[in-house]
Structure 1
């Protein structure tokens, strides 16, 4: 009994000590102005975690609309959904910005098989965005395995009439999985352009993920300047299937692989960026953007990519309004259309910003999933990079330890300028590529608390940027 009481007392002491340390982290070494900032940041987190709306907004978007590939009826529904929601939040103004977007359709479910030692193996496969279809009967050919674009180029005419299999995996020694993705995504994007030039019959690519499973990952690809007659069908296969095919090719280098897909690129269609803003109280001509992309791939519900970013971005404005935080600069929320296969929305937004001589002094993008917050990457001049990094003492109590120089995001990067401070929200990346571009990127994969922590993190850095960047002289686009 005495031992149990002692352990209980020790546990209570540890908990009490941790609570005290959290208070110390909030206040020690802070100036009087920083104490105000610390209190406001705490308020933003408290509001997000007790009265946040992002999770239910995400449920509505994913469960009632689903996957939102540019040009699809679901993408059109999501535009109306976004416009209505921004108005309900009470933004000062809400409007739709027209943009023409590509319209690629997947068609019937893809099929892939091969036979070895008399056993037919079914292969999980999905067409890559912008790929052409196979003939209606599919294609059947021998397979050549390569690990890189350079290796494929070196084969030259040996690829003629063959299916080229790109099988370079993620580098699992890289802690940042986005670096691993960047290290091998070129084979997905450019593989068909290289192999089509030499008369290959088709391309299959190992899915872009750390996971070894039976889930194929789609994503965009390009043919570049390749003439249409050399466009070849391109698809991704699951990582487990890729491993097995590689083993089987060693046993039988002459095995033949069959796949069939019926995808098609249709004419461009009209769509919209959805935009809403809270007018700035002191320098309304200066604009701070926060956003994500409204479109998603068609296989799943686009929950992490990028439904999470969409609802978090709007929740930044919601948290400001709920807590009566009035931005000095105009805070503009943008739901960009067509990030996944064209970034037409981002380009149109930047084009019109330049045409209208708008002054963008900052931007924040969320397009890395709804997992636990880790920090932000900063794309800014040296002075502003150091300024943002000086806020670490205010942000680190919330797990926001990473404030590193780096990219911001595909949708806000066209706004880049010498005095424009662009920031990318960076949650933990370890699970992101389990779901990225797949049929399992669904609402149930998003944790409510992690999502809300992300909204509060984004609101906090926007609060600081608005307060301390607004004196900077912006560069007109």
Structure 2
């Protein structure tokens, strides 16, 4: 027994030494990944081109097609094992001429306010719509008012995002139903249009667009966002002058679906090539701004993960793919198509990481997956904490990678979680421009994703 105990003790000591050695190697490689990311400006310059030379990239647009060609060319420069596109049919909605919104008092001059059509909205016609406007705070309040009070009027949804939430995404989730379903609920009771307070915690003059929905069982009525300053001003005027009218003019169109593409770059795994790790962002953006934070940042960070592997001559044990998804903003067709193709090919995705919360300083990762996988990733926290990645645990993966869940409940869906405090000031607005990007914050996000991809590739799940 003494001999057996000595052998066992020796094995434990040897095992501990091997683990320590592996951790030291991992720590060194992660340090090199960050050093290369922070020292090289390629992702920042890529984003400059995508944002300022191509600009807003709404699905179906010329700019979206240019972005497909550009991202394919950028990945081809890296000498990857494979770069290819995946055809996908996408919605094609166009905004048309600049929208107009005006407060129309009983007496006095009309007052212009900043508005923009919500994505997918119908138009008002060339003459616009003028009608009495009623302020509400919720969808339930519309139902309570009923048809008698709503028919023929414009409904103004003015529920602000809750500022007390530390996570601005929680605040967004608590307010966005009025944008997505407001037109449906108002139309049930005869409203002629809806005006939605922008999903923005700040007070400014930028209206924020975003996707909205219709229901085929009720009339399709125009839906527009109003800036937060405009919403505050309109609300005060309504208190002083009940019966106030509002003028809205917008003429967007929904055209036939257009052909577009996901863009995919791949480094083949050396030991377990059939186990796939995806890292990605969405190539499309809304048309008002340049789509720098949403989601040009996520796209160039995903490309940067592959560049870092090549630059440091890391040969991953598992296959790594960078995917530029098309049509996250108004249909998720790219994410659905990628998952559909993966299922057809019987591919095994062990993990997917999405960056779609802005290019701000990374704080950690949210993980949607089996508890055992969350626990394993949390065990790497000591390797990641020196880089500010303290928040690693259960959370949300991402819109584009979400469809992979239907293929396998075992796939870990992981969302990069940057500091969220500034995100909704520029989200879906004309203010989402390249000048809001900080080069080091962008690079830190790429480093964070590369570090986690490296660990996933080395050890699997």
Determine the structure 2 residue equivalent to 1:247. Answer: 236
Q: Following the alignment from structure 1 to structure 2, what is the Cα–Cα distance between the partners of residues 410 and 456?
A: 22
Q: Structure 1, residues 86-112: CA drift from partner, whole Å, max 9, x if none?
A: 101221111110000000000000001
**Which of residues 249, 257, 272 in structure 2 aligns to 1:260?**
249
- Alignment of 1:73 with 2:73, yes or no, is no
On the 8 A contact 2:41/2:439 being kept in 1, the answer is no
Distance in 2, Cα, partners of 1:450 & 1:253: 48
1:352 to 337, 341, 350: 341
Q: Which of 203, 206, 210 is residue 219 of structure 1 equivalent to?
A: 210
Answer with 107-116 or 183-192: which moved more. Answer: 107-116
Tell me what 2:4 maps to.
Answer: none
**Residue 126 (structure 2) pairs with residue 125 (structure 1):** no
CA distance in 2, matches of 1:225, 1:156: 20
Q: Residues of 1 paired with 2:152 and 2:270: CA distance?
A: 65
1:149 and 1:187 in contact (8 A); partners too: yes
Q: Quick check: 1:302 aligned with 2:311?
A: no
Counterpart of 1:85?
74
Q: Given the alignment, which residue of 314, 328, 350 partners 2:303?
A: 314
State the alpha-carbon separation in 1 of the partners of residues 175 and 20 from structure 2.
46
Q: Take 1:89 and 1:210, find their aligned partners in 2: how far apart are those partners?
A: 40
Query: Which one of the candidate residues 116, 120, 136 is aligned to 1:146?
Result: 136
Give the alignment partner of residue 331 of structure 2, picking from 342, 345, 358.
342
Q: For residue 194 of structure 1, what is the aligned residue in structure 2?
A: 185
Q: Is the 2:104–2:247 Cα contact (8 Å) retained in structure 1?
A: no
Q: Which residue of 1 aligns with 2:412?
A: 421
1:270 match? 259
The one of 138, 155, 162 equivalent to 2:153 is: 162
The whole-number CA distance in structure 1 between the counterparts of 2:364 and 2:109 is 49
Once the two structures are overlaid, the 10-residue window that deviates more, 97-106 or 384-393, is 384-393
Show the counterpart of 1:398: 387
Provide the C-alpha distance between the structure 1 equivalents of 2:301 and 2:121, rounded to a whole number of angstroms: 32
Q: Which moved more, 1:213-222 or 1:51-60?
A: 51-60
CA distance in 2, matches of 1:326, 1:153: 59
* Displacement of 1:120: 2.3
CA deviations over 1:193-218 (Å, ceiling 9, x no partner): 11112110100000001110100000
Map residues 424-463 of structure 1 onto 2, 5 A cutoff: 424-463=415-454
Matched, 1:102 2:91: yes
Residue 467 of structure 1: how far off its partner (Å): 1.4
On the 8 A contact 2:279/2:323 being kept in 1, the answer is yes
Tell me the distance in 1 between the aligned counterparts of 2:448 and 2:117: 36
Deviation at 1:154, TM superposition (A): 1.7
Aligned partner of 1:331 in structure 2 is 320
CA–CA separation in structure 2 for the residues paired with 1:89 and 1:218: 35
Find the partner of 2:52 among 53, 63, 69.
63
1:34 Cα offset (Å): 1.2
Counting only pairs closer than 5 Å after superposition, residues 222-233 of structure 1 correspond to structure 2 as: 222-227=213-218, 230-233=219-222
CA distance in 2, matches of 1:132, 1:200: 14
- Alignment root-mean-square deviation, CA: 1.0
Number of residue pairs aligned between Structure 1 and Structure 2: 439
The alignment's TM-score, normalised by the length of structure 1, stands at 0.91
Q: Report the counterpart of residue 12 of structure 1 in structure 2.
A: none
Q: What is the Cα deviation at residue 342 of structure 1?
A: 0.2
Question: Which deviations, in whole Å up to 9, do the C-alpha atoms of 1:436-472 show, x marking residues without a partner?
Answer: 0011111101000100011001101111111122xx5
Cα distance between partner residues in 2 of 1:226 and 1:194: 11
Deviation above 6 Å: which 4+ runs of structure 1?
Answer: none
Partner of residue 466, structure 1: 457
| 8 Å contact kept, 2:57–2:287 | yes
SS of residue in 2 equivalent to 1:300? coil
* C-alpha distance after superposition, 1:245-304 (max 9, x if no partner): 111101111010001001010100100000110001001111110000000000010000
Structure 2 match to 1:389: 378
Q: Distance in 1 between matches of 2:175 and 2:455?
A: 36
**Equivalent pair of 1:52/1:315 in contact (CA under 8 Å):** no
Corresponding residue SS for 1:413: coil
CA distance in 2, matches of 1:119, 1:390: 64
Q: Name the residue aligned to 1:19.
A: none
Structure 2 unaligned residues grouped into runs of 5+: 1-18
- 3-state SS of paired residue (1:31): helix
1:380 corresponds to which of 343, 365, 369: 369
Match of 1:27 in 2: none
